Amino acid sequence: MASHPTRASRSRYEKQSTCDPVPVQRRICERMLPMVNPAAWVIDDVSLPEDGRMSVAVVPQYCGAVGKRANCQVSVSVHAATDIASCPLQWWQFQPKECDADTDSRAATCIPHPTGGHTPREVAAGSGHAR
């Protein structure tokens, strides 16, 4: 399956960047929270179909983009939201339970913590340690 250039670029940046996203996320929170004044927190998980064995955290799981189980990655984000605005404040690549034992891949792709079998939304709800 060919990747869309924008998605491939974002995915490559997330996996290969030496930049720590936490300071960026912190600064976004500092600037945007007063502007958005959130009425709600939204946890969103987006599945992206992937093909190939070199992609991190790819396992057969439900993939909304294709409407069935398929090899895919899941990105999770937490948004501050009102009825007229929304801003992603934290985001990261979800690591499926099947990938927890692969410490070499987790280290190479900067996914520091195993998820312990939690769903993406459970991980987001306790996102103090999440990337």
Which pTM was predicted?
0.67
Give the tens place of pLDDT for each residue, 39-86.
999 988 888 898 766 677 888 888 888 999 999 888 888 899 999 989
Residue-by-residue DSSP string for 47-107: EEE--SSSSTT-EEEEETTTTEEEEEEEEEEEEEE-SS-EEEEEEEEE--GGGTT-HHHHH
pLDDT of residue 4: 45
Give the tens place of pLDDT for each residue, 87-125.
988 887 777 777 777 777 777 766 666 666 677 777 777
Q: What is the DSSP letter of 114?
A: -
Q: Has residue 25 got a pLDDT over 90?
A: no
* Phi and psi torsions of 43, nearest 5°: -105, 125
Q: Has residue 3 got a pLDDT over 60?
A: no
